[in-house]
């Protein structure tokens, strides 16, 4: 290893810098040279400073990377490169320093270690990673760059018992905010890397991620951890309103959680004191601004990273600025892979930067050169040579082997593994710390409840979170609750104990379950419970349900948890016996990831930009089983045609595809389980898209003069929920299984007496939906959002039915509401298209008063699109009609719009007020 030190001499950032060549014979020092402060450097042709502009580029540019901001970003990158080359030339371009550099890199840059040494906060915050050799490129990509403090004591000795066979990693993942990033976005790739490549490491996730829990964990396991890895939020600012920190300047802090899951900022000083006490050698801080320092900092220890270094942590990897999750996903797996390959933290940091440079896409395909955000502080680093391939001897144990066979993930059932579901895993982890013993996962049939249960157990196993024992019990064949309890007795006490009298074994069972940490899984719970609230019979006798409920209530607050999977929310269990977690379809990146995994089996690549493919995937509503049934057909059918075919899709009983067999089994209830008297309701249910409302369904029945009241509609929907074909969202709203929606649409009409009944239902559907849409048409977007999210697809279907039936009045109300919603959410092309259609409709009806309103809305759309000429034409057209019909109120509104339009033309700005 060839070591060059850039040592800062002087108390201010304007001091001089020496280049030293350090080897076994000592240090050779070149004459000191002055360097310009890059943070205060003015960018060409602007008064902006590089420091402020670099922070904007790294943290805010991608919020709007278009137009002038593109030029601004290019200017920042050019200025940074210019500073990097100028500073390199000043340091290494001549004399003895040049000779040191040439000697150190004679065999290449791979063995060069470049250390920046200073005690001045501003100097430490310079973007040293941007140093650039014009002949080689950015040095941070080719050599090891680290920061050091000049006046810091040697770190304390390593703790006794620190393993030299396996790297211990304590992972603190804090997600205290409602709209936080995915829980396992960082930790899961790390765990998978260690598992798949059989790396000599043991990862433990801190549960709960509180500062007190961190203290207890380190006290309970001295010498267990080489690395404490914090994955969460950080910041740099004022700390605390009282205590010793009251009068201090800005400090770095990390955001832990408190016992309630809310944010709990902890200063770098607090954290450093704890890690020093337990002599942790390495800290990885995947937290924004965890290495930030500025000129307001009182000393070089103000950042979290430098505070930890002062406390004796030997290596600290931290972030100088905010880092996108997508950037961390590139940096951290590469960092750990290289760490286990070389045993060197500095080399691992370089490997992470190289991965970020090779994959700069951060938001979609938008690129960001943010590889200089991760920084490394080191002082007498601990080599992890025992973790490198040449030194490995003991293979890592397989965590899943701790699970019973039926609880393990098998590729035969989950060929693509558990994709996503981070919010559900986080909800399960938090629920396991609450008083209710039951953790109820409920959702549509085939949505992945059992898969998630197994995936959750696998996650706990791989992160040292499993309780003392896991017991898996399937309710598919349960006929009596005593058989469930007896099975637990046999597993815990032995088969002989099963023959004991009930008055002896049940109390003993409860005592063990309350005192020992167990996790019991009750899978397919609906098979035994039926749906008590919907009068659906299950295999478990009704008179045994109170005993089951009491069993869970008796376990409340105990160490044992019972994870239950069911298609129903099992409302009869009440609120104190279990905590409910609703499982819906996959969303966003999770949905795209599963689609890509399914298509990859067919040798296809997901084209996320293809509108037909995107529409098909959206129609599948993120339902994993439906996606597995339909998407493979893209191998032989174009997406547009497959989307059309899907509307008529019904799984077949004689299919050889096991996925389609499971879907058919789910739908069998419609024919075999739903009472004949309620089956006619399938037709109006099938008219809906995505969601159905029990009370609206009853209103439709009344409008169609059909014999179904609110009681019958609720009972029908509850029965379908118990069968896994609907999912209750509360307030009488139900999410529909994509397969049920298509089945009811295709076969619902044949369950009616005649075509006249079908027509009556369709007229009623249009009438009720048109009333609902018209009610929300004039509302603000925040009032419209939920209704259109739930029933927007049904509004579209009602619009098509009204047009087909010639129901022009309801057609107009629906069209106007859809147009208003499109304008509110700034979908200007769609809003223009809708309002033009509504205007034509009004003209055909001879309603020029309503047409004038549509013209005015078209003026607003044109104004938003900065087509001021078209906007004026539409406003004047509406004004002429309002004046002719004598509507002075709306005429005044039209004149006001023309005046504002004239003002906008003069100022050159756009947009409505």
Give the mean pLDDT of 308-326. Answer: 91
Sheet holding 263-267, edge to edge: 233-237, 251-257, 263-267
pLDDT-based confidence at residue 760 (cuts at 50, 70, 90): very high
pLDDT tens column, 343-395: 999 999 999 999 999 999 998 778 999 999 999 999 999 999 877 776 665 55
Quote the pLDDT of residue 69: 92
Burial of 903 (0-12, 13-18, 19+ CB in 10 A): exposed
Please report which residue ranges of 557-601 form alpha helices under DSSP H.
588-600
Rounded to whole angstroms, how far apart are CA atoms 90 and 104?
17
For residue 858, the surrounding DSSP H or E stretch is helix 848-864
Q: Which residues pair with 521 in a beta bridge?
A: 472, 563
Quote the pLDDT of residue 883: 92
pLDDT for residue 290 is more than 70 = no
Rounded to whole angstroms, how far apart are CA atoms 300 and 251?
10
Among 664-678, 772-786, 793-807, whose mean pLDDT is lowest?
664-678
pLDDT tens column, 476-512: 888 899 999 999 999 999 999 999 999 999 999 999 9
Quote the pLDDT of residue 241: 40
Helix, coil or strand: residue 357:
helix
Nearest to 880 by CA among 856, 913, 844, 904: 856
Task: Dig out the tokens for 40 from the structure.
Answer: 């205060």
Contact (Cβ atoms closer than 8 angstroms) between residue 122 and residue 37: yes
Give the mean pLDDT of 811-839. Answer: 91
- Beta strands 167-173 and 374-378: pairing type? unpaired
Contact (Cβ atoms closer than 8 angstroms) between residue 119 and residue 377: no
For residue 662, the surrounding DSSP H or E stretch is helix 658-672
Burial of 259 (0-12, 13-18, 19+ CB in 10 A): exposed
Rounded to whole angstroms, how far apart are CA atoms 608 and 705?
46
Helix, coil or strand: residue 252:
strand
pLDDT-based confidence at residue 533 (cuts at 50, 70, 90): very low
pLDDT tens column, 829-866: 999 999 999 899 888 888 888 899 889 999 999 998 88
Quote the pLDDT of residue 647: 86
pLDDT for residue 248 is more than 80 = no
Rounded to whole angstroms, how far apart are CA atoms 787 and 685?
17
Give the mean pLDDT of 865-890. Answer: 92
Rounded to whole angstroms, how far apart are CA atoms 34 and 14?
7
pLDDT-based confidence at residue 246 (cuts at 50, 70, 90): very low
Contact (Cβ atoms closer than 8 angstroms) between residue 862 and residue 870: yes
Enumerate residues 6+ apart whose C-beta is below 8 A from 201.
166, 167, 168, 169, 194, 340, 387, 396
pLDDT tens column, 229-241: 999 988 766 544 4
Helix, coil or strand: residue 216:
helix
pLDDT tens column, 622-645: 999 999 999 999 999 999 999 999
Mind giving me the DSSP string for 307-355?
HHHHTT-SEEEEESS---HHHHHHHHHHHHHHHHHH--HHHHHHHHHHH
Rounded to whole angstroms, how far apart are CA atoms 228 and 815?
58
Quote the pLDDT of residue 909: 54
Among 84-88, 267-271, 356-360, whose mean pLDDT is lowest?
267-271
Rounded to whole angstroms, how far apart are CA atoms 865 and 852?
20
Q: How far is CA 664 from the centre of its chain?
A: 32
Quote the pLDDT of residue 303: 79
Please report which residue ranges of 444-573 form alpha helices under DSSP H.
449-462, 481-493, 502-515, 526-529, 545-554
Buried b (16+ CB within 10 A) or exposed e, 294-322: bbebeebbbbbbbbbbbbbbbbbbbbbbb
Burial of 611 (0-12, 13-18, 19+ CB in 10 A): exposed
What percentage of residues in the chain have a pLDDT greater than 70? 93
Task: Dig out the tokens for 276 from the structure.
Answer: 């020093």
Half-sphere exposure of 522 (CA within 13 A, CB side): 28
Quote the pLDDT of residue 410: 84
Quote the pLDDT of residue 536: 52
Quote the pLDDT of residue 386: 79
pLDDT-based confidence at residue 666 (cuts at 50, 70, 90): confident
Contact (Cβ atoms closer than 8 angstroms) between residue 686 and residue 745: yes
Burial of 865 (0-12, 13-18, 19+ CB in 10 A): middle
Q: Which residues pair with 5 in a beta bridge?
A: 20, 115
Name the residue with tokens 């996606």. Answer: 627
Quote the pLDDT of residue 735: 95
Rounded to whole angstroms, how far apart are CA atoms 509 and 756?
61
Q: What one-character DSSP code corresponds to residue 383?
A: P
Nearest to 113 by CA among 309, 383, 387: 383
pLDDT-based confidence at residue 181 (cuts at 50, 70, 90): confident
Q: How far is CA 715 from the centre of its chain?
A: 35
Quote the pLDDT of residue 245: 38
Nearest to 639 by CA among 590, 604, 601: 604
Averaged pLDDT of the chain: 89
pLDDT for residue 174 is more than 50 = yes
Quote the pLDDT of residue 13: 55
How many residues are listed for the chain in this entry? 913
Nearest to 185 by CA among 58, 332, 288: 332
Helix, coil or strand: residue 839:
helix
Enumerate residues 6+ apart whose C-beta is below 8 A from 501.
none
Rounded to whole angstroms, how far apart are CA atoms 823 and 430?
40
> From residue 615, how far is each of 46, 640, 641 by CA, in Å?
46, 9, 11
Buried b (16+ CB within 10 A) or exposed e, 79-109: bbebbbbbbbeebbeeeebeebbeebbeeeb
Q: How far is CA 795 from the centre of its chain?
A: 30
Q: Which residue has the higher pLDDT, 288 or 114?
A: 114
Q: Which residue has the higher pLDDT, 514 or 310?
A: 514
Enumerate residues 6+ apart whose C-beta is below 8 A from 672.
none
Nearest to 404 by CA among 345, 491, 311, 294: 491
Quote the pLDDT of residue 292: 60
pLDDT for residue 892 is more than 50 = yes
Q: pTM of the prediction? A: 0.83
Other beta carbons within 10 Å of 247:
6
Half-sphere exposure of 857 (CA within 13 A, CB side): 29
Q: What is the 3-state secondary structure (H, E, C) of 263-278?
A: EEEEEHHHHHHHHHHC
pLDDT tens column, 580-601: 999 999 998 899 999 999 999 9
Give the mean pLDDT of 152-179. Answer: 92
Enumerate residues 6+ apart whose C-beta is below 8 A from 102.
none
* Angle between the N-to-C axes of helices 828-844 and 848-864, in degrees from 0 to 180, rounded to the nearest 10: 160
Rounded to whole angstroms, how far apart are CA atoms 19 and 37?
17
């Amino acid at each position: 290893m060839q070591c060059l030190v850039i040592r800062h001499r002087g108390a201010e950032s304007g001091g001089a810098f020496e280049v030293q060549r350090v080897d076994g014979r000592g240090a050779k020092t070149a004459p000191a040279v002055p360097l310009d402060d890059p943070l205060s450097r003015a960018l060409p042709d602007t008064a902006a400073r590089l420091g402020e502009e670099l922070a904007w580029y790294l943290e805010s540019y991608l919020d709007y990377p278009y137009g002038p901001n593109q030029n601004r970003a290019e200017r920042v990158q050019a200025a940074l490169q210019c500073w990097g080359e100028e500073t390199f030339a000043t340091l290494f371009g001549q004399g003895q320093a040049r000779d040191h550099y040439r000697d150190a890199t004679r065999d290449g840059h791979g063995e060069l270690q470049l250390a920046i040494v200073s005690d001045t906060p501003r100097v430490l915050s310079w973007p040293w990673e941007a140093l650039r050799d014009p002949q080689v490129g950015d040095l941070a990509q080719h050599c090891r760059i680290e920061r050091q403090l000049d006046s810091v004591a040697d770190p304390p000795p390593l703790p006794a018992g620190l393993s030299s066979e396996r790297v211990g990693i304590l992972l603190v993942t804090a997600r205290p905010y409602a709209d936080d990033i995915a829980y396992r976005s960082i930790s899961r790739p790390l765990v998978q890397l260690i598992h798949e490549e059989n790396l000599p490491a043991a990862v433990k996730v801190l549960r709960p991620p509180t500062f007190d829990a961190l203290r207890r964990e380190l006290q309970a396991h001295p010498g267990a951890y080489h690395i404490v890895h914090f994955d969460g939020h950080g910041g740099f600012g004022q700390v605390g309103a009282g205590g010793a920190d009251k009068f201090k300047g800005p400090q770095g802090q990390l955001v832990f959680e408190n016992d309630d899951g809310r944010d709990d900022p902890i200063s770098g000083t607090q954290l450093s004191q704890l890690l020093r006490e337990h002599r942790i050698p390495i800290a990885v801080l995947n937290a924004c601004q965890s290495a930030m320092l500025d000129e307001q900092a009182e000393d070089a220890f103000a950042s979290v990273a430098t505070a930890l270094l002062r406390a004796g942590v030997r290596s600290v990897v931290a972030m100088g600025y905010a880092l996108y999750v997508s950037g961390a996903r590139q940096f951290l797996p590469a960092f750990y892979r290289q760490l286990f390959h070389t045993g060197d933290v500095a080399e691992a940091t370089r490997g992470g930067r190289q991965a970020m440079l090779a994959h700069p896409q951060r938001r979609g395909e938008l690129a960001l050169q943010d590889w200089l955000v991760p920084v490394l502080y080191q002082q007498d680093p601990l080599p992890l040579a025992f973790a490198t391939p040449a030194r490995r001897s003991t293979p890592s144990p397989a965590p899943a082997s701790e699970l019973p066979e039926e609880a393990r993930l098998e590729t035969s059932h989950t060929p693509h593994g558990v994709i996503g579901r981070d919010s559900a895993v986080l909800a399960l982890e938090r629920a396991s710390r609450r008083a209710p013993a039951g953790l109820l996962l409920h959702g549509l049939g085939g949505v992945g409840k059992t898969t998630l249960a197994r995936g959750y157990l696998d996650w706990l196993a791989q992160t040292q979170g499993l309780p003392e024992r896991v017991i898996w019990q399937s309710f598919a064949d349960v006929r009596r609750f005593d058989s469930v309890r007896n099975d637990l007795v046999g597993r815990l006490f032995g088969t002989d104990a099963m023959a004991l009298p009930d008055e002896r074994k049940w109390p003993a069972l409860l005592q063990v379950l309350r005192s020992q940490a167990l996790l019991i899984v009750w899978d397919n719970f609906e098979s035994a419970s039926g749906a008590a609230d919907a009068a659906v019979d299950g295999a478990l006798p009704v008179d045994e349900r109170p005993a089951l409920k009491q069993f869970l209530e008796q376990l409340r607050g105990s160490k044992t948890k019972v994870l239950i999977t069911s298609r129903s929310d099992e409302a009869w269990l009440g609120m104190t016996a279990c905590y409910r977690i609703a499982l819906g379809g996959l969303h966003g990146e999770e949905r795209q990831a599963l689609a890509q995994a399914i298509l990859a089996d067919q040798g296809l690549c997901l084209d996320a930009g293809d509108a037909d493919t995107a529409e098909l995937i959206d129609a599948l509503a993120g339902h994993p089983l439906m996606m597995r049934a339909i998407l493979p057909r893209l191998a032989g059918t174009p997406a547009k045609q497959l989307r059309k075919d899907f509307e008529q899709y019904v799984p077949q009983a004689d299919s050889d595809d096991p996925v389609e067999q499971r879907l058919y089994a789910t739908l069998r209830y419609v024919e075999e389980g739903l009472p004949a008297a309620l089956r006619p309701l399938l037709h109006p249910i099938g008219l809906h898209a995505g969601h159905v409302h029990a009370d609206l369904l009853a209103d439709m029945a009344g409008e169609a003069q059909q014999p179904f009241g609110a009681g019958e509609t609720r009972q029908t929907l509850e029965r379908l929920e118990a069968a896994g074909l609907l999912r209750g969202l509360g307030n009488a709203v139900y999410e529909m299984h994509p397969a049920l929606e298509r089945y009811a649409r295709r076969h619902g009409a044949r369950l009616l007496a005649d075509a006249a009944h079908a027509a009556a239902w369709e007229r009623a559907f249009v009438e009720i939906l048109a009333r609902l849409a018209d009610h929300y048409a004039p509302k603000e977007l925040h009032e419209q959002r939920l209704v259109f999210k739930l029933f927007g697809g049904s509004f579209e279907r009602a619009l098509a039915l009204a047009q087909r039936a010639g129901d022009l009045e309801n057609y107009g109300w629906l069209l106007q509401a859809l147009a208003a919603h499109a304008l509110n959410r700034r979908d200007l092309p769609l809003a223009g298209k809708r309002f033009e259609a509504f205007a034509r409709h009004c003209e055909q009806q001879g309603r020029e008063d309503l047409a004038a309103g549509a013209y005015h809305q078209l003026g607003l759309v044109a104004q938003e699109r900065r087509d001021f000429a078209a906007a004026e034409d539409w406003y004047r057209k509406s004004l002429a009609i309002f004046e002719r019909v004598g509507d002075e109120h709306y005429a005044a509104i039209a004149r006001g719009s023309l005046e504002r339009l004239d003002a906008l033309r003069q100022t050159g700005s756009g947009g409505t007020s």
